[in-house]
Structures are given as structure tokens and as C-alpha cells.
Amino acid sequence: MPGSIVLASGAGIERGVVVGEIVDGRYEITGVLGAGGMGEVLAGYDTVLDRPVAVKRIAVRQFASRADLVDEFVARFRREARVTARIRHHGVPQVFDAVLDARADSVYLVMEHIDGVTLRDYLAEIGELPVGWAVAVAAQIATVLSYAHVLPVVHRDLKPANIVVAHDGTVKVIDFGIAALLDGSTGRITRTGSVLGTAAYMPPELVNGQEAGPRADLYALGCVMHEMFSGRRVFEARSEFDTHNRHLSDPPTPLRTLRRDVPAPIEQLVLELLAKDPARRPSSAQLVYERLLPFLPAPGAPEDPASRTHPDPTRLFRRPNPPAEIVVEPLPPKPSHELPAAGLSEAAARYRELFALGRAAQAVDVLLGVVDQAEQRFGADSPQLGDLHRDIATALEHSGEQRRALVQWQRVEAIEEPTGTRGRRARVAAIGCRAALGELTAAAAVDELYRMLGEIRSADNEFGDDALLVRLALAEHLPAAGDHARAARFVARLRDDLAVLRPPDDAMRRKIEALAAELRC
């Protein structure tokens, strides 16, 4: 399956995006996720909140050539962005920001980045879906539409390319408001001769140029459901014109003539959704959901074998609101080429630059992009690889991702000599991560650190760098273990030793002095 989503489809975009470009002084463009008739969907990074985002770029002058039309387009863009942001449901990517560039050449919609695949790609690979999966996708879409239609917001271009199945099985409906953006009351912004929407999923009323209401989305949902259950579009033709005519006049093929295991009530529901007259379709998306409900898997139901290789849309119903799963992330597959030394140096420099700017999550991604190549070049037990894992772990801790940091520290421990400085630092950091994750109680963390300190004292003394590192970790964990007086004595002694051993501006000394102030030593 593809590893990242494509948030738009089609062709004819206006290029010109530069990787590294900063939008609105905040969003760094890091790549292109997809392309569509309206523009590009870009991979971005929010430099303020240290997180990836998706940035939909729409080239204004591709749709509005005159100054008055530009103003109208921008006003409509802002309005549609606000309306879309009001759809509060996990099945709609959250809208973070709406930006007009300084020259009014482009508008940008900054959104939640989704890790998943479009239903279009999903169907291209699987074909017809297991019945339970198709019902689960349809039910999730119906839920999203119910939240949108209450506002009311009509999608107008619901199709598999605008539906994303995230890796956790959650279904997302994207591009709300985009069709409305191009279909203003004056109609002047639409490109000459174009029909808004996609022919294979277009309701008859839109083909006839009539107003699109909520039931237009339900017709498109019927088209999508037909395709999920049968593996084929409801109407196929040699041209868009012929496809439009089939939507206007041809009856759809009942699903059970194409696939016998489709339940009869599902077949009937799809036929009603595909009614030519909107008044004969179900009255609401909520009603569609209610009719799908009996066919959804019950909590605790076994998973389909296909879930081992593809995102499972039934998971939301089989395991409602599940707790977070602990997943050890595998390293990416090894490439066939070696990493040039200059490439590693550039990655390390970029990491340091980003980390200094407080963009730790992005710094992690830079090193993750080269770590496996570094292993191939330098070897699995090399100091260079250990340094990479250490830097990744440090940035992950700064991002608050203790679970992923622990994995990296454990990889450093596996590489480095256990009694060497690098190995001991990794062990101390791993103890800290395990305590933060609740895998170790504060008392257990203190016991492990005291054992380390004993090992160091037997081989060296308590004033060397390794010993001071462990003593600092003990000073940080002892207060949480519950013996305040013991912690205060330990911290006071370490503070006095550091006053002799380290200069006033030393980071370790500043840290222990701050801790001593908290404990009032």
C-alpha cells in the first residue's frame, strides 16, 4: 500500500512550489503529496508547533484572471475555509489556518496531515471490498456527512479520491468546500465549459446544472458504495458526456446481480441512494447510517485476514475507542546505494540547525531519512550509527515522545560498550524514559541508578563525568520516590561537589542548583 496520502486528484496544476519555501512566515514546504485540477497538496511543517501539516495550495489566477474576480475568489476562499473548519468530526481533517500570499498569487489551506491512502488507491489494489469493510467505510462517510449537512455544508464532489482510509482504519473525507469555492452564485470563477464535480459520481441534478443539496452527496455516496461492493463504477462510458447521460437516464445494476453475498437490504439502500429524483433518496445521512448499523461488526468481532496487509475500516467498530497501542517502529528498508559522507554531514548540520530552532520533530525526520544508509556505510555496530540514534533519541525526548525515544536509546545501548561513557549515558536516558512511561516506578528507577553508581564507583570514583551523570539522574528521580529529606541531602552534596568541579555556567551545575532551590536545600 502507498505510505502517504494523496489529497487531490486530476491534472493541470500550476507548478512553482519550492521545497524549503516558508508560507506566512511559519509553514515550511517540505515536499509534494499530490496534485489536482485546483493546485497541489504539499507536505509542510509548522515551525511554531513543531509538527507536520498538509498545505493545499490553490493558484488564484488559474480561476480568477481579473482583479475583481481575485478579490471575490479570496473572499470566498476565506468563507469556505471558515465553514469547513466548523465541521467538528474526526472524519474531517482539521483546518489549522487559511493564508493568502503577499502577491495574491495563491491561497493556502493548512490542514491536519493524514497518514493513510485514498479509497481510490485502496480499491485499485483490493478490488471489491469484504462486505464488512465496505459497510464500515460507508457508515463512517455517512457519519461525516451527517455532521456537515447539519451546518449545512454540502461536499459536492464526494468520490474515492476524496476519501482517505487512515492506517488506523479511520475514514476521512477531504476537500469539503473546494467545489463550493469554485461554484459561486455568479458562476464567473468556474472555467468556461467546465462542470463541477466528477462524472462517475455526479448526481443527475448537478448534471442538469441545478443546486446541489445534501441529497446530492447521498447520491455520490451511493456511487461510492456500489464501487466498493462490486469493484466497478456504477456507470462506465467512453466519455464524460456519455457518463453524464447514463446518470440522467440509465438504471443502476442491482448489486446482488454482481455479487451474491451483498445483503439484500444493502442492495436496496444503494438503489435508493442512486434514485434520479433527490426526493426519492433517503432523507438524511443519519438515516443512511441507521440502515447500515445492523451490518457493522460488533465490538470484539474477529478481524478479517485482509487487515494484516491493509488498513481495516472495521477496527473503529470492533474496538471502539481503544487505548493507545505500543508499537516499536521498524527502521525503513535498507537502500541499495551507499550514503556519501557529505550527505551524512549535511543531514547532521541540518539536524543541529533545526534542533537549535526548537523544531525537534522535524530534526528527527532529517536523521531518520539517513540512519539506515549510515548503517550500510559504517556498519551496524559503528560509533557513527550510535551517534545518529543518540541524536534522534535526544530530539524525540525534547518533542515529548518518550516511547519512540526509548527505542532509540535501546539501540544506542545495543551498539555501545555497556561500561563506556556512551553506553552509560544511553542507559541513564533509557531509565528516564521508562520512568516517564510508567514502566518503572520512581523507586525502581532510583534502585537501577544506584546500581549503576555502585558499578562506576568500584571501577573509578564518584567525581568522574560518568558518575556525575548518574548522580544528577538520581537527584532528579529521588524526590519522586517519596523521601524528601533523603533527596534534599543527596542534592545538597552533589551541588557542593559541582561547585568545586564545574564552572558557574556549566549546564549540569545550573540544573542541580535549580533543583536544590526547589527542594530548599
Instruction: Walk across the sheet containing 106-112 and list its strands.
Output: 22-23, 27-36, 39-46, 51-59, 106-112, 95-100
- Residues 190/62, Cβ–Cβ less than 8 Å: no
Q: What CA–CA distances, in Å, run from 262 to 155, 232, 235, 267, 268?
A: 27, 14, 19, 7, 10
The conformation of residue 420, written as its DSSP 8-state character, comes to: S
Q: Write down the H helix ranges in 86-130.
A: 119-126
Q: Name which of 166, 139, 144 is nearest 154 in CA terms.
A: 144
The conformation of residue 29, written as its DSSP 8-state character, comes to: E
Cα(270)–Cα(160) distance, rounded to whole angstroms?
16
Which residues share a beta bridge with 106?
59
Cα(146)–Cα(221) distance, rounded to whole angstroms?
12
Cα(345)–Cα(420) distance, rounded to whole angstroms?
25
Cα(374)–Cα(369) distance, rounded to whole angstroms?
10
Angle of helix 421-436 relative to helix 465-481, nearest 10 degrees, comes to 10
Is position 372 annotated as part of the catalytic site? no
Burial tier of 162 (Cβ tally within 10 Å: 0-12, 13-18, 19+): buried
Q: Name which of 184, 175, 172 is nearest 155 in CA terms.
A: 175
Burial tier of 277 (Cβ tally within 10 Å: 0-12, 13-18, 19+): exposed
Q: What is the CA radius of gyration of the chain?
A: 29
Cα(260)–Cα(489) distance, rounded to whole angstroms?
77
From the list 46, 50, 121, 157, the catalytic residue is 157
Q: Which residues are catalytic?
A: 157
